[in-house]
Amino acid sequence: MVSDIAIEVAGYADVAKQIIDLAVFGAAQNRSYTRLADFTDTIGNRVSGSHNLDLAIKYMYNAMTEDGLDVHLEPVKIPHWVRGDESAQMIMPRAKSLAILGLGSSVGTPPEGIEAEVLVVQSFEELKRRASEAPGRIVVFNQPFVSYGETVAYRAYGASKASQVGAVATLIRSITPFSINSPHTGWQDYQDGVKHIPTACITVEDAELMWRMAQRGQKIVVRLTMGAKTLPDADSFNTVAEIRGWQHPEQVVLLSGHLDSWDVGQGAMDDGGGAMISWEALSLIKDLGLRPRRTLRTVLWSAEEQGGVGAQQYYDQHKVNISNFDLVMESDLGTFAPLALQFTGSDAARKVMEEVVKLLAPINTTKLESHGEGTDISPWMQTGVPGASLHVADSRYFWFHHSEGDTMTVQDPQDMNLCSALWAVVAYVVADLQDMLPR
């Protein structure tokens, strides 16, 4: 017995094919890639609180308005950390400059820098075991890369753990499985009650070099200079574009990516691509003259990299209408070749979504996986709103993540066409079904 929902969703096969054809073979082919290149080449990187982020928001407001969408800005307060000049040199056992990137929210060093002997450890456990050696030292973490989710704890909490045992600074091996002497930055969190010490990431190569030197019993001395500082919170905006629903305009399918990036590279992959396909999905639907029952709302978040700051304020401002949020979607793990849709929701909602992804047969992405994810949509998912994210061929994502390597060169126009098609089909069909997804 084929369920009613299966029959209803199957009725969208023609419109899904129209969307896919337009995105992959038609007039919109390569458009999301071109838009991303124009945007990132013009603006460059755009860290929370920066003038560049202000320019990026204005750019996207104007571009989406010109595209014929309903666009508005929603004010938020965001962190304003500034890197300043930074450098590190190994003094002993030989002179060598170290490539570093200070970590977000780190304090700076005194103007003359910090020169100290180094303690190299491979884990928090080893640090605990060797705590008596830590006072007055710069602690270097040379933890192996297991997975981003697991290993990122060293970036987030390394400074706090080292400070607790008396270290004067920390240098943390970049959270990446692959390196060509490239440091990777990111946010870090000082824990309550610890002295704030400067913290930066170093390259995999330099972390391993100092570990080998330490294994030989050589004395290592490093001088670290960082001009980092935190300024008062800045005014910013989440950027919102809509196609209003014809029948239930108050009900919303939300698509999103974040507009801010780190202050290195171009932020093309993280998360320019996610922002662009979330705009492109609306463009495709508008170009085909389609208008769903419910409102399609694209939100380009501000200050995701600081812990989903803009998105949390959006949630606080809109959660009073939580029962009207049908599905929240975020793309923040790259826009490489799409493999599947990841989904979090009730069993009944999953049954609906399993039918929806069948419509993606023309691009061979009919798989529905568990666990929709995204920093910016997690507050909604935690309170029971169904959530979806894009699973792409992301084995290379962390090679470039938060580094100077995050540029247009890692993006592929064909992959972005496919991501845009998937994003648009899923959003349109869910927004146009008779009923909202069951909670």
Residues with catalytic function: 304
Return d(Cα 272, Cα 284) in angstroms, integer: 18
Instruction: Name every residue whose Cβ is closer than 8 Å to that of residue 210 and which is 6 or more positions away in sequence.
Output: 90, 118, 120, 140, 142, 220
Kindly compute the dihedral angle of the four CA atoms of residues 369, 371, 375, 380, in this order, to the nearest 10 degrees: 110
Asked if 18 and 27 count as a contact pair (C-beta separation under 8 A), the reply is no
CA separation for the pair 243, 224 (Å, rounded): 51
Structure tokens at 166: 């008396």
Question: If you search the block for the tokens 């001088």, which residue do you land on?
Answer: 223
What does the DSSP 8-state code read for residue 272? I
What CA–CA distance (Å, rounded) separates 17 from 45?
A: 35
Closest by CA position to 114, among listed 193, 38, 223, 28: 223
Tokens 């014929």 sit at which residue?
Answer: 68
- Please, where are the H alpha helices in 288-396? 309-318, 347-358, 378-382
Distance CA 381, CA 349 (A): 13
